Structure 1
Amino acid sequence: MTTWVLLRGLMRESRHWGDFPAHFQQAVGAERVLCLDFPGNGQLHAEHSLTTVATMADHCHRQLQVQGVAGPVHVLAVSLGAMVALAWADRYPDDLQRMVLINTSVAPHNPFYHRLRPANYPALITTMLFGSSEQRERLILRITSNLQTAEQVKAIIKRWTAYAQEKPISVDNILRQLLAAMRFRAPPYSDKVPLLLLAGEQDKLVNAACSRKLAGLWHCPLHLHPTAGHDLPLDDAGWVIQQVVNWQVDINFAPALPPENQ
C-alpha cells in the first residue's frame, strides 16, 4: 500500500493544501495521502510547538503509528516541512521510501540571507508578532505566492483568515517554530532515500539558489519553475504533480546496475 505524507511549513496546517491532496493522490496512484499537522498548528493548535526540527521528525514518526501506517512512506514537504523530512530520513530511515522537497533551505549549506531574504525581515517581524489574523495571512500570501489574480487573492485571504481564527496559532508558537528552523543543521545526506528537489525561481521568501546548492551537494535531481514562488503547490499544483509523476516513472524504470565484480 503506497502512502504519501504531506508536510507543510511555518504556521501552516493541513487545510492550507486546499484540493492539492485529492488531485495528487489520483495522479500518482497512491492508496492513501496523509496530511500531518505539527504541534501548534491546525488540529494541534492548542499544543506547544516543538523547538527543534528533530523533535518534529519524532512527532511524524509517532504519527505513522497513531494513524496505523506500516510504512515505508513517500513524503512531499514544503519549506520547514522539508527540513523535518530530512531529519526524519536521518533518524528513521526505514520510515521513508522517497522524498520530494519543495523550496527548502538548510544550514550550514545555505547562508542566512538566502534562507530568508532580508527584504522581508521588517514586515515579518512586525506583522507576525503584532498583526491581526487577516494582516498575517495577507502578508504570507504576498511573499509566498506569485500567480494569483485579484479575485483569487481575495478568496484565499478570506479562507486562510478563517482557518487562523478557527484554530489560531499563538505568537509563542510562531517564535518556537522560527527557533526550530533557525537551529536546524542538515544531517549528512544519504542516498538511501531517493530525493527530488523542486523550487520556484521567483521565490520571494527563500532564494532558489538554496535548492541549486543542495542539488549539487547531494547529486539529486532539481526542477525549477520559472515564475512560481515559495508556495509552489498553490501557484502551480499541476506542475508539481507532473514533476513527481515523471520522477516516479524515472525511478521505476531506471536500469538495474550490474553486480559488482562480475
Structure 2
Amino acid sequence: MSTSAQAAVPATHTAPWVLLRGLTREARHWGEFAALLRAVQPGAPVIALDLPGNGGLHAQRSPASVPAMAAHCRAALQAMGVAPPYRVLAMSLGAMVAVAWAHAQPRELAAAVLINTSLRPFGAFHQRLRPSQYATLLRLALTGADAAEWERSILGLTSQRRLGTAERDALLGAWTAWRRESPVSGANALRQLLAAARYRASQSRPAVPFLVLASTHDALVDPRCSRRLAQAWALPIAEHPTAGHDLPLDDGPWVARQVERFVCTLKAP
C-alpha cells in the first residue's frame, strides 16, 4: 500500500507499522519484507508510504527538507483514515524522516526502528555518505542514466547479498520496470540528497522508544553513524555482520526477528 492508493485501513487496537524507504526508493522496494513483518506482528496493519517524488508520487516535487517529508507522511496517514499512534520502520533517508517526526510529534509514535541511517551530528560528512560513492550518485542524478543502468548501480551500492543469475535478473527486471513506470527525476533525486545532507537531529533523544539496526558491510553509509547515534541516545542496537545498506533485502528474516524482540520489550500501545 502506498500513499497514492489512499486506501482505508481497518480500525485496530494494534498500532500500525509505517514503512519508509530511502533516497529515490518506493514502497514496492520493500519486496517480501512487508509479509515477513506481518508474520511476526499478526494483527498489525503494515503501510508502506511513498515519499513525494518517488513511486506513486513521482510526479510530485520532493520536499527540500526532512521535516517537510515527515509532515507529508502525517498528512497522508490522516487522509487514509489511519489515526496515531504509529510504529515506524524506516531506513536511510526514511529513518531521518522518522526521527524528524519523533522530534515534532513524539506522542504520535509508539516506537521506531531506524535502519542504516546517518544523522548529523552523530556522523561526519564522509561517514554519512561514503566519498567513494559520490561520483556514482551524482552521475545517476545528473546524466539521465536509463532505468536499467540506474537499478544495476543501486543494487551494487546497496546490497551484499549473493544472488544467482536468475534471481538477480528477476530482481533487476522488477526494479527497472518500476523505475520506468514511476521515474524519479534528477531534480527530485538531488532535492532528496540535499534534504538528507542538511538535516540535523537534536542532541537530545525524542520521547519515543527506538531500535537501531545497522549493517557492518554497508558500502553507502558507515555503520559508525548508527553506533554513535545509539550511544548518544542510549538506544538498543543490533548489527548484521554481512549485510549491505539494504538490510531488509539482504536479510529480511533477521530484521523481522529483531523487530519482534524489540516489540516484546515494549508495553502494548
Report the TM-score when normalising by structure 2: 0.91
Which of 220, 223, 234 is the matching residue for 2:235? Answer: 220
Work out the CA distance in 1 between the residues paired with 2:192 and 2:185. 11
Which of 190, 195, 208 is the matching residue for 1:180? Answer: 195
Q: In the alignment, is the contact (CA less than 8 A) between 1:86 and 1:187 conserved in 2?
A: no
Residue 143 of structure 1 corresponds to 157
Post-superposition CA distance 1:20-47 (Å, at most 9, x none): 1122112122431111101111111111
Work out the CA distance in 2 between the residues paired with 1:252 and 1:46. 40
- How far did residue 250 of structure 1 move? 2.3
Amino acid at match of 1:58: A
Which of 39, 56, 59 is the matching residue for 1:26? Answer: 39
Which of 53, 56, 63 is the matching residue for 2:66? Answer: 53
Work out the CA distance in 1 between the residues paired with 2:140 and 2:52. 22
Whether 2:92 is the aligned partner of 1:93: answer no
SS for the counterpart of 2:114 is: strand
Residue 206 of structure 1 corresponds to 221
Structure 1 residues 22-31 or 36-45, which shifts more?
A: 22-31
The percent of aligned pairs where both chains have the same amino acid is 48
Q: 4+ runs of 1 displaced by more than 4 Å? A: none
- How far did residue 190 of structure 1 move? 3.0
Residue 71 of structure 1 corresponds to 84
Structure 1 residues 131-140 or 193-202, which shifts more?
A: 131-140
The alignment covers a number of residue pairs equal to: 253
**C-alpha distance 86-30 of structure 1, shift in aligned 2 (>3 A):** farther
Q: In the alignment, is the contact (CA less than 8 A) between 2:141 and 2:187 conserved in 1?
A: no
Residue 10 of structure 2 corresponds to none
Whether 2:211 is the aligned partner of 1:196: answer yes
**C-alpha distance 53-3 of structure 1, shift in aligned 2 (>3 A):** same
Alignment of 1:115-134 (within 5 A): 115-130=128-143, 131-134=145-148
Larger radius of gyration: 1
SS for the counterpart of 1:217 is: helix
Which of 54, 57, 72 is the matching residue for 1:41? Answer: 54
Report the TM-score when normalising by structure 1: 0.93
- How far did residue 102 of structure 1 move? 0.1
Q: Report the aligned-residue RMSD.
A: 1.3
Post-superposition CA distance 1:43-65 (Å, at most 9, x none): 11111111100100110111121
Whether 2:75 is the aligned partner of 1:62: answer yes
- How far did residue 109 of structure 1 move? 1.9
Amino acid at match of 1:172: A
Q: In the alignment, is the contact (CA less than 8 A) between 2:90 and 2:114 conserved in 1?
A: yes
Residue 155 of structure 1 corresponds to 170
Whether 2:117 is the aligned partner of 1:104: answer yes
Work out the CA distance in 2 between the residues paired with 1:30 and 1:217. 34
* Unaligned runs of at least 5 residues, structure 2: 1-12
SS for the counterpart of 1:242 is: helix
Work out the CA distance in 2 between the residues paired with 1:59 and 1:22. 25
